Each structure stands twice: as C-alpha cells, then as structure tokens.
Copies of this chain bind each other. A is one copy, B any other.
Amino acid sequence: MCRWLAYSGSPVLLEDLLYKPEHSLIVQSMHSTMGAEPTNGDGFGVGWYGERETPGVFRSIEPAWNDRNLRDLSAHIPSPRVFAHIRAAIGSPVQQTNCHPFRQGRWRWMHNGFIDGFHAMKRDLAMAVDPDRFADMEGGTDSEMLLFLAMTFGLEDDPRAAVARAVGLVEETARRHHIQFPMQGTIATTDGTTTWAFRYSSEGRSRSLFHSTDIATLRQQYPDAPALHLLSDDARLVVSEPLGDLRGVWQEVPEASCVEIRAGEEKITPFKPLVPAGTV
C-alpha cells in the first residue's frame, strides 16, 4: 500500500535519494518490508522544487524498479526538496492521475494508506470539497480527495488545522455510514518551504513512518560514513520505511502526530482530527 519519502536540505540529486541507499525506494518498489504489500509496482511519482516558480512532477504507471527514464532523470535533477512515492493500488485504476504526489499550485501531497468505505462515502466527501476546486480533481483516489478536502479547509493557511479538519470530516462522515475505522495512513505535504508529515489512523494502528536523526548527531556517531559528509547539516528525511540499517539514523514517528520540518528544524506535535464547523 505505497511507500514514500520526503527530503529537505541542501540540493541533492534525486538519484542519491532514490537509488543509492541500500533499502532505497526503488528497492522498496519490489521488496518493501514494512508495507501492507511487499510489491509497490502500480506506478510512481517524484515531485521536486528547483529554481523555477512551479515545482516539477514526473509520474508514471510503470513499476519504478525498471524505469529507465526515472534513472536518467534522477541523475540529472538536483533539488533541495523532494517528494517521491511508489504505489500499490488496491483495485483502483492504475493511471498517471492516480499517482502521487498530487499537486495544487506550489503544494505537493502524498499518502500511504486508504479511506475504508471510500466508495460509500465518496459522494459525501466530494460534495464537501470547495465548489471552485471540485472540477480540478483528475483521478479517483481517496488520497487525492484528502488533498482537496485539506485545500478546502485552508491547507494554504494552516496545514495542520486543515489536515485535521479533513480527517475529521472523513471520520464524521464514516460515522453516518457505520464505518468503524475509516482513516488509515501517513500523509506528507509541502509548499516548497516547509514540509508537514502526518501519521494517524482511526484505529490507532498506522502505516509505518520514520524521520531521520539530525545530521550533526549522526556524524558524531559515524565519523567514517561518507554519505553523512555529503549531506548538509539541515538535511532531513521522513520515510515510510528506513532506507538503511544503520543504528540510530531512523526514529519512528509516533502514532497520531505531525512532524513539521522547516529550515532544518524539526518539530513534532500531537495530531488530532477536528470535526469542521458546519459539517453536513
């Protein structure tokens, strides 16, 4: 059920993030160890911020493990902020518009998980999306719907509150439909300056999520590791599952929390859904 990674720090080549690590996202596309499924071969996507106004996105329905274009492009694109995702579709169509990261303006959005009972709730949730944004939804996934709900609830102004409201709406709607544990997953979103990552599920048993220890600490622990010297002091990664085995590098993101990363600083706060005012 998908795996993703979110990087911020000094510019690195996409290749260093996607291919170089021992248990890289590309390896995980065929052999993830902590996901619901080991295989995540129903497409992939990479979003990156560069010098241009609008960030770039490259999405494909091909499995990531053999994609030559991804390999080539990764070797050529440096970026200070990267979102990458590999998909395991659960019955939903495999098409580019269903690949993550999704985008709205400068914002990017990824999700690992699902909304249980989405088919039954889809219309209710769609009706709650800002009418001016409704027609901008291009695919059919629950993940994209969550982005549009978050946008509706003010993602651009206060992401944590917006995501809390979006999830709150999902849970409120689920109650009406007698669905017990609707929300599952981890979410990452960014505006190019700050990244927010969420780990939450209605049942309290969320998909895996880890964040990296700060680089300065790691350099002390591992003075001989070249990779650590290549990374900048402010380099931060949030990942569905660790990219390697090195002890002390990865720390689990607690259940029901939000990780906010800005200018190399990291802040973890509790996350709790909010039922939006005026919910139908």
Contacts and interface: CB of A to CB of B under 8 A. Distances in A.
Contact of A120 (B93, B96, B122, B135): B135
Contacts of A95: 93, 95-97
B63 A50 contact: no
Nearest to A78: B51
Residue among A37, A38, A52, A120 facing the most chain B CB atoms (10 A cut-off): A52
A227 interface: no
Given A96-B95, A123-B131, A135-B119, A63 B41 contact: yes
Contacts of A76: 48, 50, 52, 56, 77
A75 interface: yes
A61 B39 CA distance: 17
A231 interface: no
Interface string A119-161: 1101100110001001101111000000000000000000000
B140 A134 contact: no
A63 B77 contact: no
Nearest to A41: B41
Given A56-B73, A69-B60, A120-B135, A38 B41 contact: no
A216 interface: no
A43 to B, nearest CB: 10
A104 to B, nearest CB: 15
Interface string A78-122: 000000000001000111110000000000000000000011101
Contacts of A93: 68, 95-97, 138
Interface residues of A, number: 46
A42 interface: yes
A279 B207 CA distance: 44
A66 interface: yes
Given A58-B69, A138-B140, 6 more contacts: A52-B76, A56-B72, A57-B72, A59-B68, A66-B89, A95-B96
28 contacts: A30-B37, A30-B39, A41-B41, A41-B63, A42-B63, A42-B66, A50-B76, A56-B72, A56-B75, A56-B76, A58-B72, A59-B68, A59-B69, A60-B69, A61-B62, A66-B89, A93-B95, A93-B97, A95-B95, A95-B96, A118-B135, A122-B135, A123-B135, A126-B126, A126-B134, A137-B140, A138-B140, A139-B140
